[in-house]
Amino acid sequence: MSRETILILDFGSQYTQLIARRVRELKVFSQIAPFNISLKEIKTINPKGIILSGGPASVYDKGAPHPHKEIFKLGVPILGICYGLQVIAYQLGGKVKRGARREYGHTPLNLTNTNDLFKGLPKKITCWMSHGDCLGRLPVGFKAIARSKNSRFASIFNTKKKIFGVQFHPEVAHTPLGKNILSNFLFRVCRCQGDWQYSAFVKEAIEKIRSQVKDQEVICALSGGVDSSVLAVILNRAIGMQVKCIFVDNGLLRKDEAKKVKETFTDNFNLDIDFVDARKIFLEKLKNVTDPEAKRKIIGYEFINVFTREAKKFKNALFLAQGTLYPDVIESVSAFGGPSARIKTHHNVGGLPENLKLKLIEPLRELFKDEVREIAKVLALPEHIAGRHPFPGPGLAVRIIGEVTEERLDILREVDDIVVEEIKKAGEYQNIWQAFAVLLPIKSVGVMGDKRSYENVVAIRCVTSLDGMTADWAKVPYKLLGLISNRIINEVRGVNRVVYDISSKPPATIEWE
């Protein structure tokens, strides 16, 4: 099944993934590749257009990333962004020079041509600049179509070859009309149709899985999170009972998690799930462990052991399905190192031993997290899964500061349940990226029932974010915070104080450990 694709060549920009997301938001499929992708590979992809990302280098630096010069002869429309514009000029005979002063931040831009790339835009717009070099001389056949205070050539084009360049970043929110510019490139210049639909992706994934698996069995690790849930349901629609799901209860899950997973997927989706009770194993291994990295390693190692043992029960299984997402794939490729020989995957089954000898199936590896949520809606997954906040792989173990014990887990489960329940009741859940509680390793004095108490302190953490890379503390209404605090102290034995975390990321992280 062919689909129109915009190919994005990565030169190391911090915004490369954002370019890909913006293109997909406009209903056009995008694919990121290293800057030095071969011409043969480009021709195989057969892109409708190519976008050259920005990057931190100067075109004159030793070892600076440069694409194959032949891409400019493919007859495919090209848009260079920031460093991408400079690469175009440099490789086609123009001149790049060190700017008299660095341009950074919000910058007024005067458009001298409002056809094609700037169609429908006013002659003066605001854009986001981030560069030190600038163009000193245009390549032959190019014209300037925008200028800023410090640059005569803030945007250039060659209409005959359909090659465009912008010195600013249209993909960021700080360029208010940037999406209009990208839309013009996609639909006016590249003549895209905008037919990237999530329903089409599901259909394509199902057909591919059926063709690959045939009559064999597939093992899938199901955690109840949105990634593994979408993966399991797509597999089920493709091959039915040939998919064997394994759900490992490590004792570090939220309240009634195993019960909810069973109700959702066994009763509603008719999945074949092997429920493994490994609570005692994990708690025993975590005894007296307080270092967060040690916790993570122990949990990861034990999960591998448990999963490997369970997987061997399914002797007819030849495939392992993993919920690898597109950011995981991109992280494995260094813009300056070229294609990586080893793909780094982030999934529920990390580092499984090779002796399982299972072939990989990764149907979500082309998707971003928010796209997986949209796929969940297409698959009619319940909202408590489709819209669920991120949950750490090591579970509540990294939300208990200090030693993990059954008693402390019971306390945190009840607290966490109250936090999520009240935020949902107040209609704030979808406005928050992540909301959870942390059990601290300290106790404080309080007065309960006219008696002195000396009990645990819990911290509530609520943040807003677009992608989890940066985050701000959520301005949750005081009334709601008061309600949550009162319920926790009144209903959860062992807690007499609640605090609210108002730190942002950076410098803090979202999770405490």
- Structure tokens that stand for 166 in this block: 């912008």
Describe the crossing of helices 406-425 and 478-491 by its angle, rounded to 10 degrees.
150
Describe the crossing of helices 369-378 and 198-213 by its angle, rounded to 10 degrees.
90
Q: Cα separation of 496 and 485, whole Å?
A: 9
Q: Cα separation of 80 and 92, whole Å?
A: 13
SS3 content of the chain, % helix, strand, coil (to 5): 35, 25, 40
Active site residue 171: yes
For tokens 């975590």, what's the residue?
286
Q: Cα separation of 198 and 245, whole Å?
A: 24
Please name which of 374, 375, 347, 373 lies closest in space to residue 362, comparing C-alpha atoms. 347
Q: Cα separation of 228 and 372, whole Å?
A: 10
Report yes or no: 352 and 308 within 8 Å, Cβ to Cβ. yes
Q: What is the DSSP letter of 186?
A: I
Q: Cα separation of 467 and 370, whole Å?
A: 9
Please name which of 421, 413, 399, 435 lies closest in space to residue 483, comparing C-alpha atoms. 421
Please name which of 52, 66, 56 lies closest in space to residue 19, comparing C-alpha atoms. 52
Q: Cα separation of 99 and 161, whole Å?
A: 27
- Structure tokens that stand for 257 in this block: 């998690």
Q: Cα separation of 433 and 390, whole Å?
A: 8
The three-state DSSP-derived secondary structure of 413-481 is: HHHHHHHHHHHHHCCCHHHCCEEEEEEEEEEEEEEECCEEEEEEEEEEEEEECCCCCCEEECCCCHHHH
- Catalytic residue chosen out of the listed positions 4, 171, 257, 310: 171
Report yes or no: 322 and 362 within 8 Å, Cβ to Cβ. yes
- Catalytic residue chosen out of the listed positions 169, 257, 302, 422: 169
Radius of gyration of the chain (CA): 26
Q: Cα separation of 401 and 386, whole Å?
A: 29
- Catalytic residue chosen out of the listed positions 82, 190, 192, 220: 82
Catalytic residues: 82, 169, 171
